[in-house]
Structure 1
Amino acid sequence: MGLCSSCFKGSSEELITPDATVRRQQQLEAAERRRVENETRGIKDPEKVRRMQQKAEETARREEEAARMGGGQSALRWTQD
């Protein structure tokens, strides 16, 4: 009987749960990891995708700026000969 009693541990040796602030921080970190994993799921090169998005945003910004400056008319015009 004495051998089985070593399996039962007292309450002093129970796992200590982290306080609320530590637990919140761990949950935030886990949520951030899941968000990053979901964003990159199925993408072979995430950096390439990020560069393409930045390029598209820059192009859109330049088009908006050109429309504001030119009053909607472009400087280049098509001519027929």
Structure 2
Amino acid sequence: MGLCLPCLGGAVKDVVETPDPEIKRRQLAEAAEKRQMEASSRGIKNTYSVEQKKKKQEEIEKRIAASGSGGGGGLRWQVG
């Protein structure tokens, strides 16, 4: 019976070096960001339009908050 071992000279070429932990951490972070971007845009055909709508909605909310806080336009309670 023969042994199924590669010759020692070829075994060195097959060894995969593990990257530096910092490099690996950066690669994992980049991959996570990419997955998050893909997941957030899944099902959305025009991402630019969605971004514009979000900005417009935020601007409207800011205007409402600014006008409502100074005038005291909330509900009044009267106990009598």
Q: Same fold (TM over 0.5)?
A: yes
Shift of 1:71: 2.0
| Total equivalences in the alignment | 67
Q: Which runs of 5+ in 1 are unaligned?
A: 74-81
Q: What TM-score do you get using the length of structure 2 for normalisation?
A: 0.74
Corresponding position of 1:32: 33
Task: Trace 1:43-62 onto structure 2 (pairs within 5 A).
Answer: 43-62=44-63
Deviations 1:12-52 (A, max 9, x none): 22121111111101000000000000000000111110110
**With structure 1 as the length reference, what TM-score do the two structures score?**
0.74
Match of 2:45, SS? coil
Percent identical among aligned pairs is: 34
Structure-2 separation of matches of 1:45 and 1:37? 13
Gaps of 5+ in 2: 1-5, 75-80
